[in-house]
């Protein structure tokens, strides 16, 4: 069978999506003013992806790059643009597609520095446009651009000292601006749709463009269509959206990605099932080496089983 699907992994350069986070069960969250990255692990993970047949790497960039347009947001020891360019070229040389990811959710934008406090202002729009433009040039006009946009709710920000939530037309206005900036560079917008999809489905289905790729996510191992996170895959298919379903390996959930592939391949039309994405949701540091490499192995295993 021809390998015509996306088999992706989501890897972090930056993990600065939370202003502060005191939750005892997630101590790895919270802002770090330095680049929290093990380059040996990062390199091993990229090489492991190539070995496992992964063909797409979505890289969460955040403040881990010293952008020429906004160098002030970079953390200490951030990569220079030329270092990122070399990495983009290396990933391509391994037969994989590098895709930029930046999270523009108002609940995950600590990486923006002072601009995270300027949401929905002209200065904020200028910042978003500048960063997207620079990244698209470094990546050589990528096919996709992952904009994040998940979990913009109070409950998800309850441990943070600064809470920002856009609702209704305020969210949609900013959303249209951001996807417009991505599309200027020929990239297709890609998002986590949970905020609107799970909480305001009426708005979602009436206002979400079909051009936007949807990565609904569900990290459990048992798929029950009565569960809203699982049901969302079916509803997205009913409305004929292109999907890249997302599993994970972050908490000994060994069957997540495999069962995601099985369930979604049985319930989403092949023409709209663009592929699958595996996540880890841990910083790329040695403490999580085994977890990240195991997650990549599980993604490779799920791919092989899909083509059996």
45: tokens are 């993970």
Q: pLDDT of 261-307, one tens digit each? A: 999 999 999 999 999 999 999 999 999 999 999 999 999 999 999 99
Q: In angstroms, rounded to a whole number, what is the distance separating the alpha carbons of residues 183 and 199?
A: 26
| pTM given for the model | 0.97
- Identify the pLDDT of residue 161: 83
Q: pLDDT of 161-195, one tens digit each? A: 889 999 999 999 999 999 999 999 999 999 999 99
- Identify the pLDDT of residue 23: 64
List alpha helices for the chain, DSSP H: 39-51, 81-93, 122-138, 168-183, 194-199, 201-207, 228-238, 256-267, 289-306
% of the chain residues with pLDDT over 90: 92
pLDDT band at 84 (very low <50, low <70, confident <90, very high): very high
Q: Which domains does the chain have, with CATH numbers?
A: 6-306 (3.20.20.80)
Residues 203-211 have a mean pLDDT of 98
Q: pLDDT of 123-169, one tens digit each? A: 999 999 999 999 999 999 999 999 999 999 998 888 888 899 999 99
Q: In angstroms, rounded to a whole number, what is the distance separating the alpha carbons of residues 184 and 205?
A: 24
């Amino acid at each position: 069978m021809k390998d015509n699907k996306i088999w992706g992994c989501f890897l972090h350069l930056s993990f600065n999506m939370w202003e502060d986070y005191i939750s005892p069960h997630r101590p790895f969250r919270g802002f770090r003013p330095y680049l929290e990255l093990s380059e040996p692990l990062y390199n091993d993970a990229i090489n492991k992806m190539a070995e496992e047949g992964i063909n797409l790497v979505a890289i969460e960039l955040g403040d881990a790059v010293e952008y020429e347009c906004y160098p002030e947001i970079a953390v200490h020891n951030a990569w220079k643009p030329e270092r990122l360019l070399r990495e983009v070229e290396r990933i391509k040389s391994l037969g994989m597609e590098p895709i930029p990811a930046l999270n523009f959710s108002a609940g995950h934008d600590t990486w923006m520095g002072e601009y995270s406090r300027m949401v929905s202002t002209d200065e904020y729009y200028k910042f978003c446009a500048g960063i997207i433009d620079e990244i698209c040039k470094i990546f050589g006009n990528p096919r996709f651009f992952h904009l994040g946009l998940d979990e913009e709710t109070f409950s998800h920000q309850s441990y943070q000292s600064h809470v920002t939530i856009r609702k209704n037309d305020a969210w949609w206005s900013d959303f249209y601006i951001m996807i417009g900036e991505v599309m200027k560079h020929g990239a297709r917008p890609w998002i986590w749709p949970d905020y609107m999809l799970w909480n305001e489905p009426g708005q979602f289905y009436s206002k979400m463009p079909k051009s936007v790729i949807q990565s609904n996510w569900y990290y459990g191992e048992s798929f029950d269509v009565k569960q809203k996170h699982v049901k969302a895959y079916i509803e997205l298919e009913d409305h004929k959206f292109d999907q890249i379903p997302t599993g994970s390996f972050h908490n000994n959930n060994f069957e997540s990605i495999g069962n995601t592939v099985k369930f979604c391949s049985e319930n989403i039309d092949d023409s709209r099932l663009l592929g699958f994405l595996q996540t880890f949701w841990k910083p790329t540091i040695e403490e999580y080496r085994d977890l990240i490499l195991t997650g990549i192995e599980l993604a490779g295993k799920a791919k092989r089983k899909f083509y059996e």
